[in-house]
């Protein structure tokens, strides 16, 4: 089953509750982008905002940590209300990534790793067996509203093949530049979970935009 996760990075932060209500009828998950100004050049928001979002919705919260050495923050983000945490493979060495995943287990949240466009699909292999999701970035992380990198379709296909071999229950999410056209391409390449910021919040009717991504 396809899941659509609107990214609140593209919402109006002065009207965040209103913008969450706007997507609730059509969204499966809510995607929450945390940026530290080091792993990516941008700073978005952190724990207090996640807590506030948790208080205002029952939606599954898919929290994308674009943060150096994320192990330090796993417990805090789990307590703040994340249902799933994603850490970047480039944000720490393999020992640190494994430690972050162990912490997620202890905190009872679902576990995912993300790949920047530079990182090859095979990099997920040491972790794949235990993952709930792999996130393939289809833009360079850091900003909403960028153009989809078509070259990432190959990475999506490769990750899909690895998932089928090692852990078929694992979800495959894509993030960046997803619109009704690129959504078709990534779904065909094997994605089953789509993040969309501008395509949803840039639309007159965000719920209708989500349904369009689903191909309805
Ligand atoms: C980018 C973020 C994305 C962003 C996507 O670093 O991870 O989740 O919100 O925005 P769009 O859909 O506008 O590319
Ligand atoms: Zn994201």
Q: Mean pLDDT, to the nearest integer, of 162-173?
A: 98
Of 19, 33, 36, 62, which is the active-site residue? 33
pLDDT band, very low/low/confident/very high, at 66 (cuts 50, 70, 90): very high
The pLDDT value recorded for residue 141 is 98
| Residue 7 Cα: closest atom of ligand 1 | 9
Measured in whole angstroms, the distance separating CA 102 from the mean position of its chain's CA atoms is 19
Q: How far is the CA of 75 from the centre of ligand 1 (A)?
A: 24
33 is catalytic: yes
pLDDT band, very low/low/confident/very high, at 146 (cuts 50, 70, 90): very high
Measured in whole angstroms, the distance separating CA 104 from the mean position of its chain's CA atoms is 16
Is the pLDDT at 113 greater than 90, yes or no?
Answer: yes
Percent of the chain clearing pLDDT 70 (strictly above): 100
- Cβ atoms of 177 and 147 within 8 Å: the answer is yes
Q: Is 6 in the pocket of ligand 1 (CB under 6 A)?
A: no
- Binding-site entries for substrate: 7, 64, 142-145, 175-177, 197-198
Bin 198: left if φ > 0, else alpha if -120 < ψ < 50, else beta.
alpha
Q: How far is the CA of 96 from the centre of ligand 1 (A)?
A: 25
The pLDDT value recorded for residue 25 is 97
175 is catalytic: yes
Using most ligand atoms within 8 A of CB, pick from 197, 200, 203, 206 the residue to mutate for ligand 1: 197
Q: Is 32 in the pocket of ligand 1 (CB under 6 A)?
A: no
Q: Is 175 in the pocket of ligand 1 (CB under 6 A)?
A: yes
Four-residue CA torsion sign, 153, 155, 160, 161: positive
The C-alpha atoms of residue 137 and residue 148 are separated, in whole angstroms, by 9
Mean pLDDT (the chain) is 98
Is the pLDDT at 216 greater than 90, yes or no?
Answer: no
What is the model's pTM? Answer: 0.98
Strand partners, 34: 65
Using most ligand atoms within 8 A of CB, pick from 6, 9, 145 the residue to mutate for ligand 1: 9
């Amino acid at each position: 089953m396809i899941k659509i996760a609107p990214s609140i990075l593209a919402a109006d932060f002065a009207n965040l509750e209103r913008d969450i209500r706007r997507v609730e009828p059509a969204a499966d998950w809510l995607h929450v982008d945390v940026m530290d100004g080091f792993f990516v050049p941008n700073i978005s928001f952190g724990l207090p905002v996640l807590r506030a979002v948790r208080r205002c919705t029952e939606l599954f919260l898919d929290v994308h940590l674009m943060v150096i050495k994320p192990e330090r923050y796993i417990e805090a983000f789990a307590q703040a209300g994340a249902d799933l945490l994603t850490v970047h493979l480039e944000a720490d060495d393999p020992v640190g990534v494994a430690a972050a995943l162990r912490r997620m287990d202890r905190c009872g949240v679902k576990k995912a790793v993300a790949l920047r466009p530079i990182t090859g699909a095979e990099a997920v292999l040491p972790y794949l067996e235990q993952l709930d999701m792999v996130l393939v970035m289809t833009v360079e992380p850091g900003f909403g509203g960028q153009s989809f990198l078509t070259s990432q379709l190959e990475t999506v296909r490769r990750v899909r093949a690895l998932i089928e071999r090692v852990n078929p229950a694992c979800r495959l999410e894509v993030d960046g530049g997803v619109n009704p056209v690129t959504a078709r391409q990534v779904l065909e390449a094997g994605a089953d979970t789509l993040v969309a910021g501008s395509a949803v919040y840039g639309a007159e009717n965000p719920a209708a935009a989500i349904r369009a991504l689903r191909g309805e």
